[in-house]
């Protein structure tokens, strides 16, 4: 069920803002050529708040009312005006036809009565349309005539124009006041934005100061690190210079030791053009002879001692370590599971010729190892005896390698 069905028109609240149409019936105007219009006033002394359009030569005019939403009054004054166009004087032809004090709560619902508009008692009859229904402003009583409201004085045209201008200026004033309020609100919002910008600017300035301090600290640390690196470089240069001096001394000492070693274990050729070490010939090509073999065993002992001392001076461990035991020296081979095997570097009468030959091959491998470190471009396919290799290494270390290495480091 709708709200209008529960709350009929005659019981609903009626206000000026609810009025949508005005109808006038049987206007008593004594003129043939005229204009008719109306004005709405809140009281008898105030200016018009609403002007109706002019209607020409119509004694039953109808007006549609608009823009009354801001007027919640139920009591107001309705004035009906007309002007006689047949009179030349404009001040005398403008007249007030009637003035009605309206109370919308006392209006009667027109749907409940049967009006005969041809009757004289319905002259100057006022009807409003509220909630899409027609209501009229006088109670219907056939015994009582309607009140004659034509006794009010008329307004002149200048007076009416001044009222119109006053109302128009008042509305313009209200609009300007509304705009001023809007401007004030905008001004407040602008002030708030300015305050926020100032706060942001303050925070930004603080951040800039913090960043500047951070940059200053970084620059200070950079200078400290730069100074530290400079001092460290000086110390490093001094250490490198000292190390070069130490290495120079080491190289010189190595040269001296190798020179002494070369003088101690002198390797020369005898009258038979055979290489001898400490005047003991080392000839591995001959077959077993007891006298010669004893001499060869002594020479191998001298060679093992010289080779071991040379590897110690150069700080190069031998692939197969040797153990100096005079004429009974041995060479060691490492086998699986950390086991070792010793092979004799001397000839005996026990018949183990194969072991002696293998021991000589291991010893020759040690000599080639040191020779390759000093002269990797040498052609090792050329058959040379081990004393020739040892003498070359002595001469190379004394007169060439140590001197060149020291000179390069000094540069």
pLDDT digit string (tens) for 308-324? 999 998 888 999 999 99
pLDDT tens string 320-337? 999 998 888 899 998 877
Nearest by Cα to 387 from 409, 364, 356: 364
Query: Which of 33-42, 104-113, 129-138, 152-161 bottoms out in mean pLDDT, i.e. has the lowest?
Result: 152-161
Query: At 220, is the pLDDT very low, low, confident or very high (cuts 50, 70, 90)?
Result: very high
Residue 146 has pLDDT above 60, yes or no: no
* pLDDT cut 90: percent of the chain above it: 16
pLDDT of residue 411: 43
Residue 186 has pLDDT above 60, yes or no: yes
Distance, in Å, from the CA atom of 286 to the CA atom of 283, rounded to the nearest integer, reads 7
Q: What is the mean pLDDT of the chain?
A: 79
In this prediction, residues 278-301 reach a mean pLDDT of: 72
Render 46-115 in DSSP notation, one character per residue.
SPEEEEPPPEES-SS-EEE--S-TT---SEEEEEEEEEETT-S-HHHHEEEEEEEEEEGGG-EEGGGS--
Distance of CA 187 to the CA centre of its chain: 35
In this prediction, residues 368-380 reach a mean pLDDT of: 84
CATH number of 3-155: 2.60.40
CATH class of 265-410: mainly alpha
pLDDT tens string 11-61? 677 888 888 888 888 888 888 888 899 999 988 888 888 888 889 888 889
Residue extents of the structural domains in the chain: 3-155, 167-243, 265-410
pLDDT of residue 212: 92
Residues 6+ apart with CB under 8 A from 270: 276, 279, 281
Residue 78 has pLDDT above 70, yes or no: yes
- 36, 60 in Cβ contact below 8 A? no
Q: Higher confidence at residue 81 or residue 385? A: 81
pLDDT of residue 153: 40
pLDDT of residue 215: 93
């Amino acid at each position: 069920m709708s709200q209008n069905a529960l709350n009929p028109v005659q019981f609903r609240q009626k206000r000026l803002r609810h009025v949508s149409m005005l109808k006038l019936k049987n206007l008593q105007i004594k003129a043939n050529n005229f204009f008719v219009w109306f004005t709405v006033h809140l009281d008898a002394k105030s200016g018009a708040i609403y002007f109706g359009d002019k209607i020409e030569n119509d004694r039953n005019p109808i007006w549609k009312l608009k823009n009354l939403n801001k007027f919640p009054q139920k009591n107001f004054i309705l004035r009906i005006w007309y002007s006689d166009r047949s009179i030349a004087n404009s001040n005398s032809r403008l007249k007030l036809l009637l003035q009605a004090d309206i109370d919308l709560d006392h209006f009667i619902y027109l749907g409940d009565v049967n009006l005969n508009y041809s009757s004289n008692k319905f002259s100057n009859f006022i009807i409003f349309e509220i909630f899409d229904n027609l209501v009229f402003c006088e109670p219907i009583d056939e015994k009582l005539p309607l009140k004659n409201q034509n006794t009010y004085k008329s307004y002149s045209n200048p007076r009416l124009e001044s009222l119109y201008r006053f109302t128009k200026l008042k509305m313009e004033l209200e609009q300007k006041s509304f705009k001023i309020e809007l401007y004030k609100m905008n001004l407040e919002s602008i002030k708030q934005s300015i305050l926020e910008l100032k706060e942001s600017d303050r925070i930004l300035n603080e951040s800039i100061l913090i960043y500047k301090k951070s940059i200053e600290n970084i620059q200070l640390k950079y200078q400290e690190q730069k100074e530290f690196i400079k001092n460290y470089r000086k110390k490093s240069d001094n250490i490198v210079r000292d190390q070069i001096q130490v290495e120079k001394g080491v190289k010189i000492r190595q040269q001296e030791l190798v020179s002494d070693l070369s003088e101690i274990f002198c390797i020369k050729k005898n009258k038979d053009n055979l290489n001898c070490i400490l005047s003991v010939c080392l000839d591995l090509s001959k077959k077993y002879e007891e006298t010669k073999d004893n001499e060869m065993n002594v020479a191998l002992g001298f060679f093992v001692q010289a080779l071991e001392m040379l590897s110690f001076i150069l700080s190069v461990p031998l692939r197969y370590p040797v153990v100096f035991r005079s004429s009974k020296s041995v060479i060691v081979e490492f086998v699986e599971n950390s086991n070792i095997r010793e092979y004799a570097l001397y000839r005996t009468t026990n018949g183990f010729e194969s072991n002696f030959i293998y021991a000589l091959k291991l010893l020759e491998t040690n000599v080639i190892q040191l020779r390759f470190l000093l002269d990797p471009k040498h052609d090792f396919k050329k058959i040379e005896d081990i004393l020739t290799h040892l003498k070359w290494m002595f001469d190379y270390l004394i007169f060439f390698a140590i001197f060149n290495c020291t000179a390069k480091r000094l540069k």
